[in-house]
Amino acid sequence: MIIVTRIGVTDEEIDQIRERVEALGLRTHISKGETHTVIGCIGDEELLEHAPLQAIPGVESVHPVMKPFKLAAREFAAQPTRIPLGGVELGAKEVVVIAGPCSVEGEQMILDTARAVSAMGARGLRGGAYKPRSSPYSFDGMGLEGLELLARARETSGLPIVTEVMDTRQVEQVAGHADVLQIGARNMQNFALLTEVGRVQRPVLLKRGMSATIKDLLLAAEYIMKQGNTHVILCERGIRTFETATRNTFDLAAIPVLKKETHLPVVADPSHAGGRTDLVIPLAAAAIAAGADGLLVEVHPRPIEAVSDGEQSLTFEQFDEMMAALRPVAQAVGRGLASGAPG
């Protein structure tokens, strides 16, 4: 259930509303907009069924949230959520590009990549220290050493780090090095892991599972937000269908649907969606046109030598070409590419 306050509500009146709701056994979440404040009531809504909430000073209206996801629902926030990232905001007018290799493979390659993508306009550095692989014999990351190299790359480039956490036992370690914790597609419904990252005050980039519906994705976000971490970034990276021409099937329609259903920022991963270098730029352009707040793109100094996902990784030159191609697309839909110096 959500309570919408009247225009000009005072802090004292908001406190009174919260105290009344919490006295009935529910938790509250405050979201302040330009004119109204939305107070989300979290818990057993039957406890509020006979409470005269509209009689409380400052209350304008009371609305039930009928969707199975409450905290992630658009109705639960007075305005879209914006998440600070390296001097810019995900979810604001400008589209934020996060770029880097699939895996951290060594010091020189990650430092070179960080410097290059930063100079070309990326506002975040992605790279895996821990990697989930379908085969147990494939390279699965450098672990702690990879995290330390990412931290060094951040010092060199100023770019915040986005990296994956795969296990509840890794959360504290990864959070100690990264700026954004990524939950990969294979772990989207690892509820113990979702709960654990929800307790950490780091933004979480949540990738849609290969067979997950949009509802599944939003309920996974709900697991994180229920623990108090409301800085969740949703990522569309393609789903598994009968089609074999691409690595995954890019569900472009998911982007505007998510923008309508939730207040959380939405990014797209055109690298995993297509699985081929030649598809990255057109899919990235389509994602921006559909309303994506950001992009997650794989870039490698020498893709032919990459230990993972080289076939979908852009070279530095191709990444520069992509950034140039995307600027007019963003402008055409009333946006731009975030290009300020990393903060």
- Residues 35 and 144 occupy one common structural domain: no
Query: CB-based contacts of 303: which residues, under 8 Å, 6+ apart?
Result: 277, 310, 311, 313, 314, 315
CATH of the domain at 26: 3.30.70.1140
pLDDT for 232 equals 98
Exposed, middle or buried by CB within 10 Å (0-12, 13-18, 19+), for 192?
exposed
- pLDDT tens for 79-123 read 899 999 989 999 999 999 999 999 999 999 999 999 999 999 999
Mean pLDDT for all residues in the chain? 93
Round to whole Å and give the CA distance between 81 and 90: 8
Give the pLDDT score at 30: 86
Predicted pLDDT of residue 236: 98
* 25 and 114 fall within a common domain: no
> What's the angle, vertex CA 87, arms to CA 81 and CA 89, rounded to 5?
20
Domain span including residue 14: 2-64
pTM: 0.87
**Claim to verify: residue 185 and residue 304 sit in the same structural domain:** yes
Task: Provide the pLDDT for residue 340.
Answer: 59
231 neighbors 83 (Cβ within 8 angstroms): yes
End-to-end CA distance of the chain, in Å?
38
Residue spans of the chain under pLDDT 50? none
Phi/psi for 297 (5° steps) reads -125, 140
Distance between CA atoms of residues 308 and 311, nearest Å? 8
Look at residue 325 and tell me if it is in a domain. yes
**The total number of structural domains that make up the chain:** 2
The number of residues making up the chain comes to 343
Q: Does the residue 70 lie in any domain?
A: no
